[in-house]
Structure 1
Amino acid sequence: MTMTVRDTFLIGGEWRKPDAQQPVTVISPSTGKAVGQVPEAGPAEVDAAVAAARRAFDAGPWPGMPVEERATVLERALAYLEPELDDIADLVTAEMGLPTTIARQKIPAALSAGRYFLDVARSLPVSEVRQTPFGPTAVLREPVGVVASIAPWNGPFNMAVAKIIPALVTGCCVVYKPAPETPLDVYFLAEALDRAGLPPGVFNLVTGGRETGSALVAHPGVDKVSFTGSTAAGRQIARECGGRFARLQLELGGKSAAIVLDDADPGTVMRGIAAGLFANTGQTCSAFSRILVPAAQRERWTDVVVSTAESFVIGDPFDPATTMGPLVSRAQRDRVLGYVDTGRAEGATVATGGGVPQGLEQGWFVEPTVFTGADNSLRIAREEIFGPVATVLTYDSVDEAVAIANDSPYGLHGAVFTEDPQAAARVARSVRTGTFSVNSFTHNPFAPFGGVKDSGVGRELGPEGIQAFHELKTVNLTPATEHLFA
């Protein structure tokens, strides 16, 4: 793929060239070679972007426009992207290694989700009058303000749509920073929003690394931070936002458990684990990285997990036959292989995988790996690896399985596999997570998504993902003013 070079930010409605900072080079994870370049925003650019968003929110027309008018502008932007979907998919494949056949499914799905968010926003009331013992009272849902939105690299374009469209349609103004590993694809969305006629400063794009993100989070002009990424980074952001009571939305790490009951259908389990762990090369915060199986059937279910891992075709992500691409970077590959070494050192057994695939030493490839002989106290069972590594754990009773699933600092996702509806409902209610699936791995943009414990604060997606960008205001009325708020 040819080199993609972007040399501007979108700030205040203008495509602005950077100061003298060194550019960020985007490396193909499948070849280790450069495929793109973007500028790195320094403090001056971050300050300019936040100031532009602040002006647009405080003095511009966008927050006061009817929801329908905002949605019409954003719908126009999504329509501009339709002819570019294959180009966006190819760029995502180049910058993060997502197999092309998967990318060409996911990118159109992002636009469908974006249109869903617009439809939800149109249906949500922005003013509700309540009759109370103290007289009529209006509850207004107003935009929260200037939003700093910081995204990860493991689903870049889809994440951009899911973060940007809900914030904008509520009337917020956004400064968006993509991950430095995958900053190229969001330029398509930024250009579409600019072309659609957003007022200057309503949407701003800055690119860069950790320092750029830190400057954005710390900026006093930001009313809310929406962040998806590691738990460690989330803690730092929470501390920064807590100091000034900035609103916060954090979708962080996970160590989700898939509980396989003894009556589960093997084919259903294989499909769930394939989608819920090994898809996206394990680089999914909600991945089923702990597989809990009945001790009496340990060998049977271990064989199922191993067969699932070995069913993937690893290779060039632009090859239509490939079903698993590389990890996003050398650092991520080394991190995953380091956890494999840790698991071995702790006494667990590698049942399959555990290294770099033969013939794929160039690029950041790792074999799908399955550990057995582990217990829930090992690091490989407690820490997020963010790669194609499964740890098979055993249990003697369903209550013990639930206890093991809950014995984690995380609480993002989980699943139960069983043919017994009553057992499924019981387990789903007992596992403490923000999201849960029955006989599947389901990422549902039509329902709220998020976690508890170290997996974050707040919810994205679904109607709740729109409401997350609202601030509530109570207006105590007189009878003469009641009709003005109906």
Structure 2
Amino acid sequence: MDDTTPDRLALFIDGRWVPPRHGGSADVIEAATEKVLGRAAAASPADIDAAVVAARTALEGPWGSFSAEQRADVLDRFAAALKARAKATAALVSRENGMPISLSISVNGYGPAAMFSYYAGLVRAEDGEDVRPSMFGGRTVVRREPVGVVAAITPWNYPQPLAAMKLAPALAAGCTVVLKPAPETALDAFVFADAALEAGLPDGVLNIVPGDREAGAHLVAHPGVDKVAFTGSTAAGRAIGEVCGRLLRPVTLELGGKSAAILTEDADLAAFTTALPDVSLVNNGQTCHASTRILAPRSRYDEVVAAVTEAVRALPIGDPLDRGTRIGPLVSAAQRDRVLGYIAAGDKAGFRRTTGGAIPASTPTGWFVEPTVFADVDNTARLAQEEIFGPVLTITPYDGEDQAVALANDSEYGLAGTIWTADEAHGLALAARIESGTVGVNHYALDLAAPFGGIKASGLGRELGPEGLAPYRQPKSVYLATR
């Protein structure tokens, strides 16, 4: 096996390339051409069992005796191996899921390496334990121990960084991992196996087993798993949460979103429309934190609708490997049809479609949808309440900022949001009123050093930053009778 092989017909279990026990494999289809890009091994429940056993054995073996410094050294080598593959990995992901290469090179290419380096530095710099005076005499040693075997289940929209957001802190904490990536982007997942081998990660510490929902369900409920980390839809997250709740198993859930962008009276509209592709339509709209609901003051409403429509209409659509492309194809025919169904629902509801709404004539093959804007959208409508996961924006007027905040919070989700204002202090004050795990003022970005995650139907727990390391540890207090 090498990094240039289009097919990945073996699973990565216990540090080795292992054929699926039942010979399972699945086609990975290129989003822009609708042709088979390659074939990837597909795990059965028996393969999942083998991967969990390998992870448990590694946890109780050499990896369990590694110091934080030794783990950090491995993570640094892992980061270097990922960085060396960054350009090829980015291009592979763009072919799998349609992400424009200008975005993919940073998030799928170099982003994962940065996460591994960050967590290596974090554990290298910290003390392994705290010694606290006891209120009753003596002292208590508080240790941070790895939670154990982690089941990491990741989606297709940002396959590399969303996996790294779990792998890097889990390995830094001393855990072992079974990674189940989405079938749509199974090929790129094995880049982590290549990097693990190059970095000298002990056998069984990382296992990679792409599979379908049955494989994922088997992994979540497996008696050998100590923690689950999942990114995906809210519906799937609820099902996983129910299983973990019954098993009293720790779980991190990063789920859906339907975030609002509040433009204030003094907002710089040109700055917003310039940032709009990165904030509201990033990755062709296939982004959980995208600000897809635009809330505009009624006094500037017509101006906002015109500017947003013009900006969206001008976005270049085409080959995701072309650096000039801003809107590529969606990941699959099913996803394209789902998005088109929402557009049809918006038309049927009588909302004003100002641009887009069809399959581009310039792209006869591939799962493309024109970026679409609906104006005059009632915030209670499906178009404004349900996560579309495609290049569809809604614009809704508001009267006064109290109403703007109420509209932004009138959602079952609470993952992200943006505030656009000339007064940063005012933006911070408004952000404090938004029911959301994250908010951006005059832009939006994930910071490796700060926690990311949502509230309400957007999930449980946080990833990134020091807060992203904590879920992979469990504190142990050891009381000592003498000072």
SS of the residue 2:202 aligns to: coil
Partners of 1:89 and 1:281 lie apart in 2 by 16
Partners of 2:277 and 2:326 within 8 A in 1: no
1:116-161 per-position Cα deviation (integer Å, ceiling 9, x unaligned): 1211122233311111312311221111110000111111112222
After superposition, the Cα gap between the structure-2 partners of 1:114 and 1:311, relative to the gap in structure 1 and judged at 3 Å, is: farther
Displacement of 1:3 in angstroms is 7.5
Alignment of 1:303-452 (within 5 A): 303-452=306-455
Maintained 8 Å contact 2:254/2:458? yes
Asked if the contact 2:24–2:44 (Cα under 8 Å) also holds between the matched residues in 1, the reply is: no
Residue in 2 that maps onto 1:80: 81
Residue 10 (structure 1) aligned with residue 12 (structure 2): yes
Does residue 180 in structure 1 map to residue 183 in structure 2? Answer: yes
CA distance in 2, matches of 1:129, 1:22: 51
SS at match of 1:225: strand
Q: Secondary structure at the match of 1:284?
A: coil
Cα offset for 1:217? 0.6
Cα distance in 1 between the residues matched to 2:82 and 2:251: 30
Spell out the pairing of 1:210-225 with structure 2 (5 A cutoff): 210-225=213-228
2:239 corresponds to 1:230: no
- Please give the alpha-carbon distance, in whole angstroms, between the structure 2 residues aligned to 1:214 and 1:413: 28
CA distance in 2, matches of 1:374, 1:246: 41
CA contact (8 A) 2:288 2:389 kept: yes
Q: TM-score, with normalisation over the residues of structure 1?
A: 0.96
User: Which of 176, 193, 211 matches 1:208?
Assistant: 211
What code does the residue aligned with 1:218 have? A
Deviations along 1:262-306, one digit per CA (max 9) or x if unpaired, are 100112211332211112000000010100000121100111211
Aligned to 1:96: 97
1:61-84 deviation digits (Å, cap 9, x = unpaired): 213321110110121122223332
Q: Secondary structure at the match of 1:350?
A: strand
Instruction: Indicate which of 100, 108, 128 corresponds to 2:110.
Output: 108
- Tell me the distance in 2 between the aligned counterparts of 1:407 and 1:345: 23
Q: Work out the CA distance in 2 between the residues paired with 1:225 and 1:395.
A: 41
Deviation at 1:21, TM superposition (A): 4.1
Q: In the alignment, which of 117, 120, 125 is matched to residue 118 of structure 1? A: 120
Q: Are the equivalent residues in 2 in contact too, given 1:347–1:373 (CA < 8 A)?
A: no
Among 18, 26, 29, the residue aligned to 1:27: 29
Q: Do 1:140 and 1:474's aligned partners in 2 also have CA atoms closer than 8 Å?
A: yes
Q: Distance in 2 between matches of 1:213 and 1:275?
A: 31
Q: Deviations over 1:191-230 (max 9, x none)?
A: 2112322222111110112111111111111110000000
State whether structure 2 residue 262 is matched by structure 1 residue 259.
yes
What is the aligned partner in structure 1 of residue 55 from structure 2? 53
Q: Percent identical across equivalent pairs?
A: 47
Q: Classify the secondary structure of the residue corresponding to 1:281.
A: helix
Letter aligned with residue 92 of structure 2: L
1:299 match: 302
Q: Does the CA-based 8 Å contact 1:357-1:365 persist in structure 2?
A: yes
Asked whether the equivalents of residues 3 and 34 of structure 1 are also in contact (C-alpha less than 8 Å), the reply is no
1:279 matches 2:274: no
Counterpart contact for 1:255–1:288, Cα < 8 Å? yes
Between stretches 253-262 and 99-108, larger displacement belongs to 99-108
Per-residue Cα deviation, 1:380-420 (whole angstroms, up to 9, x for no partner): 10000001111101110101100111110000001100012
1:121 and 1:466 in contact (8 A); partners too: no
Structure 1 residues 313 and 440: alpha-carbon distance in aligned structure 2, compared to 1, 3 A threshold:
same
Aligned residues between the structures? 478
Moved over 3 A (4+): none
How far apart in 2 are the matches of 1:131 and 1:20? 57
Provide Cα deviations, 1:224-269, integer angstroms capped at 9, x if missing partner: 0000000000000001111111110000000000100010011221
Letter in 2 for 1:70: R
Separation in structure 2 between the aligned mates of residue 252 and residue 124 of structure 1, nearest angstrom: 30
Residue 375 of structure 1 deviates from its aligned partner by 1.1
For structure 1, which segment, 349-358 or 60-69, has the greater mean C-alpha deviation from structure 2 after superposition? 60-69
SS of the equivalent of 2:475 reads strand
Q: Given residue 348 of structure 1, which amino acid in structure 2 is its aligned partner?
A: F
Q: Is the 8 A contact 1:250 1:457 kept in 2?
A: yes
Q: Per the alignment, in what secondary structure is the counterpart of residue 181 of structure 1?
A: helix
Q: What's the offset of the Cα at 1:367?
A: 0.6
- State the distance in 2 between where 1:63 and 1:263 align: 56
Q: CA deviation at 1:314?
A: 0.3
Aligned to 1:128: 130
Alpha-carbon separation, structure 2, partners of 1:283 and 1:119: 31
Contact 1:126-1:142 within 8 A present in 2 as well: no
Return the alpha-carbon distance in structure 1 between the equivalents of residues 424 and 114 of structure 2: 31
Task: List gaps (5 residues or longer) in structure 2.
Answer: none
Q: For residue 345 of structure 1, report the CA deviation from its aligned partner.
A: 1.4
Q: What are the Cα deviations for residues 87-109 of structure 1, in whole angstroms up to 9, with x where unaligned?
A: 11121111111222322233123
**Alignment partner of 1:290 out of 271, 277, 293:** 293
Give deviations 1:2-33, integer Å, cap 9, x for gaps.
Answer: 97101111111221111234311100110111
2:252 partner SS? strand
Q: In the TM superposition, what is the alpha-carbon distance from 1:355 to its structure 2 partner?
A: 1.0
State the secondary structure of the residue aligned to 1:321. coil
Task: Say if 1:139 and 1:474, in contact at 8 Å, map to a contact too.
Answer: yes
Structure 1 residues 3, 335: closer, same or farther in 2, change over 3 A?
Answer: farther
